[in-house]
Amino acid sequence: MEALFTPFLPAITLLAALFLPVSLVVAIVSLQKRAERRDQRRSPLNDKLLHQAGAQARIKADEIGDDIQGRLVQLVVIGPLAMLAILLPRVRWSQLQFGWLEWVIGLMSLAAILAIARQVLRLRRARQHWLEGMRAEIAAAQALDRLRGNGCEVFHDVPTGKDFNLDHVVVGPSTVFVVETKSRRKPGKGLGSADVQFDGKQLVFAGGKTDDKSVRQAEAEAAWLSKHLQGETGQRVPVVPVVSLPGWFVKPLPVEQTSVTKAINPKRAYMLLQDGRPAMHPSQRGRIINALVKLYPELE
């Protein structure tokens, strides 16, 4: 039996090298999709997201970018495929021998295939994470934009020149808010599955998981923005940190009332304006708005 398959071993090995990478990635991605379908966690977002300005143009631009990448891949592989088409018919398979060098190259190639397949899965998970975050930010942005009717100026995805952006900044009649939006899947279905409690220091989600990192992040962003606006306007500018949780029902505890930091479902963002603070002077408010506009880069 071994003698029967030995002449075909080089051909089998070559064909495996050609088709194994794609087959392996397709199989693993299919298994990952199946696992995702079995996942009981669900997105808390129930409302339809309205299109942002330029949404269709952005979709078309992304499609064209994907098409360009596909063409570049074709340019990369067309040469090797042509060489294989020319050389394979001329190979004398019965005389082809595999030595230690060929096996080393084969094992190194297999290791590279497995490493790249692992990277594909990691990038797929990262892409899904960013997409969920994007949808949450769009939902929050559309809810916060309604505050314009209450005399607020609302900014989204504000660059800082650092390694982070500010998801949203709301300049109210009396207060500046920095809003950090978080996307988190709810643990299942049913009553209370989208409940989250906030005690001023941490979030306690349905299922018992806690999160104080988001609170600290919002507070750090508020401190940065306050310092930046003070430098730009020459006056102290308090900034209130807010954690936004689209799709979640936030149940504040009594101790939360004394906390500077707030946690909200962005649909109830109007509650932020009920702080009883005196209105800012129009000139100071104008300087704050101009300082925020300056953070955005110029179009090239």
Task: State how far the alpha carbon of 31 is from the alpha carbons of 21, 36, 105, 112, in Å.
Answer: 16, 9, 29, 21
Distance of CA 146 to the CA centre of its chain: 24
pLDDT in tens, 81-136: 777 777 767 767 666 676 778 778 778 877 887 787 788 778 878 888 888 888 88
**pLDDT for residue 21 is more than 70:** no
pLDDT in tens, 194-220: 888 898 889 988 878 899 999 999 999
Residue with tokens 């000139």: 283
Name the range with the highest mean pLDDT among 14-18, 79-83, 115-119, 241-245: 241-245
Indicate the pLDDT class of residue 20, thresholds 50, 70 and 90: low
Pairwise pLDDT comparison (91 vs 229), residue with the higher score: 229
Question: Distance between CA atoms of 19 and 282, rounded to whole angstroms?
Answer: 67
Predicted confidence at residue 1, as pLDDT, reads 45
Predicted confidence at residue 272, as pLDDT, reads 85
Predicted confidence at residue 143, as pLDDT, reads 92
Predicted confidence at residue 175, as pLDDT, reads 92
Pairwise pLDDT comparison (244 vs 22), residue with the higher score: 244
Pairwise pLDDT comparison (36 vs 131), residue with the higher score: 131
Predicted confidence at residue 78, as pLDDT, reads 79
Predicted confidence at residue 171, as pLDDT, reads 95
**pLDDT for residue 158 is more than 70:** yes
Number of neighbouring beta carbons within 10 Å of residue 263: 28
**CATH classification number, 146-294, choose in 3.30.420, 1.25.40, 3.40.1350, 2.60.40:** 3.40.1350
Long-range contacts of 237-242 (CB under 8 A, 24+ apart): 237/176, 237/288, 238/175, 238/176, 239/176, 239/177, 239/178, 240/175, 240/176, 240/177, 240/178, 240/272, 240/275, 241/177, 241/178, 241/180, 241/215, 242/177, 242/178, 242/179, 242/180, 242/218, 242/272
Indicate the pLDDT class of residue 19, thresholds 50, 70 and 90: low
Order of all β-strands in the sheet with 176-181:
153-159, 165-171, 176-181, 239-244, 262-264
**pLDDT for residue 58 is more than 70:** yes
Question: Distance between CA atoms of 231 and 144, rounded to whole angstroms?
Answer: 26
Indicate the pLDDT class of residue 51, thresholds 50, 70 and 90: low
Predicted confidence at residue 45, as pLDDT, reads 66
pLDDT in tens, 259-286: 789 999 999 888 888 877 888 999 999 9
Out of 19-33, 79-93, 177-191, 206-220, which region has the weakest mean confidence (pLDDT)? Answer: 19-33
Predicted confidence at residue 4, as pLDDT, reads 44
Range(s) within the chain of domains with CATH label 3.40.1350:
146-294
